[in-house]
Structure 1
Amino acid sequence: MNRKILSLLFVLSLVMTLFSTAANTRKISFVVLYEVTGKGYVALFDVKGDWREDELWGFVSLPRNRQINMDCGFRDDGKVSCVIPGNISRYAGRMVKLVVYGYAFDVVVPPEAKKMPILQSFGYIGGKGYVAKFKLMGKWHGDEIWGFVVPDDDHQLKMDCKFNETDKEAVCVVDGKISQWTKKTVKLVFYGYTFPVRVPGKTP
């Protein structure tokens, strides 16, 4: 009798361990928030593990305890796309919180869709430090070429940005303190657009 009880307890323990391991493999990571003309803002997420469609619920937490629901679903490529029906353009350049299935992400609302930066590269360049290069879509002015880095909730680092030869590209030199976050993911914020990147190690 005791052996049966011990065997049953062992099986239950094994099942619980398997469920716990499976749960730990589930993950959601933020990719980008952008505006689609005539549709509103769209937030894109990468997911890891097994997720059901009915688990993909979310909302935007705004200043003054306001909240806007997001309509989320799977894309054909497996990523999760969340449409924000409300007009959040008034918060352009400000930080809001996107929440999907309890996972929270602090992001900056990007400005008008007529302007869009595309991150081309981020890495360490000898003699310059950590440098981010952006391709600029639309017409840009010099005072719009600005940015900063959010390595974690308690820090914000400067980026010195300028046009790179033409007004179609921008280059940003990041504060050297970013080396403290080597091999960790940080957020590059350029003109309100957020780009999660992994800080590479220094190379000669």
Structure 2
Amino acid sequence: MYPSPESKTAPPGTRYKVLVVDDEPTLRLGFSYALSDHDTDTAANGSEALAKLDESTYDIMILDLRMPDIDGLRVIESLRRHGNLMPVVLCSAAITPSAALRAITGQVVDFLLKPVQPAELRGVVSHVLAPGNDPFAVAMALARAGRHEEAIIRLQEIDGAHPQTKAWLGILRAIRGGGLEGEAAAFGKLERDGLSALAYKAG
């Protein structure tokens, strides 16, 4: 159901099933409007999101980090624990280094920083679900699948002028080290560089 890292560009007009999870009603409405070219469902909190995921399948989830009952990280951990590898875009105004690292180790490598522009929402869906032949998108699809070594090789082949390449190379190389040492190195890079270098940016 989910795209492989080798997926080609989807035909124009492809509609995806998107689950938007955020405790702010105006954001849910705005995100749904921005994604009106797709079949969008919403959930107001983590518990509602998990209930919907038990009842139906989605191509991608746009997930708020901070919610009053079950936060975004616990939603991700629940999904992965049950073998659900659906792509997740973690969306927040302030994602800490520790939260980002937990997400990345849960095979979430796609981040949006609030406030989010409509073009970023539409763009991240295509970036994740229809990477086509874009070298960076293909590298991130490999990282999303847990194939870090292959992702590193692809990123090394990209022109160093790409704004996110260096940041992601550093993180994936650190994680590749494995164990607590690798996690500590990745945490240190996230703490020094911040998440803005890793977050998706339209255009």
Specify the TM-score bucket, using the shorter chain as the normaliser.
Answer: under 0.3
Higher strand share: 1
As a proportion of its length, which structure holds more helix? 2
* TM value normalised by structure 1: 0.27
Q: TM-score of the superposition, structure 2-length normalised?
A: 0.27
More contact order relative to length (CA 8 Å, sep ≥ 6): 2
Q: Greater Rg, structure 1 or structure 2?
A: 1
